[in-house]
Amino acid sequence: MPILDLIRPNPGEPARLVMLDDLVHEASAIGGLRVWQYKRGHTYDVTIKFERRTGSEIEAKASHSDLHLALRAAIDEARALGAA
């Protein structure tokens, strides 16, 4: 059974139902994905590592106690840093 969550993709847009698999797929499409949780009950640390056209390697990082929100924040950060 997939894990579902309500995500508001952009301010002003209506919230929509997003599966965790969709967020993982979107993050993986940007670049290398790493999800880490030190131990149960701690925050999730998400890193997306990608390369710009110029060859520069960039890491977008986010942390949150909710995995959905940590992934969404890392994806947003990567996009803000110029990920395609």
Confidence category of residue 48, pLDDT binned at 50, 70, 90: very high
Q: Are 23 and 9 in contact (CB under 8 A)?
A: no
Rounded CA Rg of the chain: 13
> What pLDDT is attached to residue 60?
96
State which H helix or E strand residue 6 sits in.
strand 4-7
> What pLDDT is attached to residue 18?
78
Mean pLDDT of all residues in 17-28: 88
* Average pLDDT score over the chain: 85
Residue 63's CB is within 10 A of a number of other CB atoms, namely 16
> What pLDDT is attached to residue 13?
66
In 10-66, alpha helices (H):
20-30
Domain ranges of the chain: 4-80
- pLDDT over 50 (residue 39): yes
CATH fold of 4-80 reads Double Stranded RNA Binding Domain (3.30.160)
